[in-house]
Amino acid sequence: MADQGQHPYTYAGADPVNGHDPTGEQDVIEYSAMLAISMPSLAAMVGMRADITCLFALEASRLANPAMIMVGVKGCVAMFDDTRKPGWGGGGGGGPNPGKPKLYVLIVGDPGAIGASGVNHDVGHVFELAAATEKSKLEAQGDRAVIDRESTRTGFESAFTSHGTINGGVFYFGHGALTDAPNGNGYVAELAVGERAGRETNFLPEDVPMLSNRNLGPDADVTLYSCYSGASGSIHGYRLVGPPLAQLMANRLRRTVNASTSQNGMCYRGTAPSLYPYPCGGGSLTPFAPQ
């Protein structure tokens, strides 16, 4: 603080032309030093701004349409994956296993659209936020996680081989559906990666032979957070034929595939932006071991 002598309230050390004293206690030089110590870096402030903007957008979306809390909210996953913010995006550091991080690939499918029947399948940013929640958890324990956004069956297949050695596991956050079996004698489950009509957007049982395990480590497994991927029997009057999709994938990859056997699909619990998938009706995913 500048020496005020007999006038303790003199502004800016009696030099208002060259001085600046916004607090009434510091002249410009010492005030600048105080800011340098107490204020976060510009990079950190940029990250904070993104977080605040995202949270306000999420709340506005929730108030406007509580049933579809993420519809219309853009760019919120960046708040989980912004390497400009201290402590984010690096993986491996500070967790319980910082010296031996595992790599996980989190595949995120399209949010959906209004189908031909008029049913709205658009879940907004639910899949992205659930994947970001899983990514945050994995990195907090010292592992690495990559979010891979895909819209096609070939993109889904390539996610298993385009990230180096995956020694942790692969997750899929996306739609699942039922479609006609090739012989027309029932139905089979599919991963509706692109959630649109068309052969290229959906991963079917007949596509399983295209999967490769060459980049999967011996302890890596696969988790499918999608509807019907582990289901069998009859679902809402639709008779499923053949083994569950998850069983076919486990046999092909020679790895355990975790999937829901629920006939009611997948649900999500939590408060945005932290969302957690679980089988509707309760319970947990079922592990399908290779046969």
Domain boundaries 98-288, corresponding CATH code: 3.40.50
Place of tokens 């056997």: 261
What pLDDT was estimated at residue 173?
A: 97
pLDDT at 289 over 90: yes
pLDDT at 175 over 90: yes
CA 42, CA 84: separation in Å to the nearest integer?
9
| Count of other CB atoms within 10 angstroms of residue 149 | 15
Give the residue from 259, 264, 249 showing the smallest Cα distance to 207: 249
Structure tokens at 163: 């990230």
Any idea how long the chain is? 291
Q: Residue 7: which pLDDT band, with cuts at 50, 70 and 90?
A: low
Share of the chain above pLDDT 70, in %: 64
Per-residue pLDDT tens over the stretch 17-35: 556 555 555 444 443 333 3
Strand partners, 239: 234
What pLDDT was estimated at residue 223?
A: 98
What is the rounded average pLDDT of the residues 261-272? Answer: 88
The one-character DSSP state at 276 is: E
Ranking 47-61, 129-143, 183-197, 239-253 by mean pLDDT, the lowest is 47-61
Can you give the residue ranges of every domain in the chain? 98-288
pLDDT at 76 over 50: no
Q: Residue 198: which pLDDT band, with cuts at 50, 70 and 90?
A: confident
pLDDT at 129 over 90: yes
264 class by beta-carbon count within 10 Å (0-12 exposed, 13-18 middle, 19+ buried): middle
Average pLDDT value for the chain: 77
Cα pseudo-dihedral 256, 215, 106, 182, rounded to 10: -60
Residue 149 to residues 2, 123, 173, 239, 252, Cα–Cα distance (Å): 57, 15, 10, 31, 23
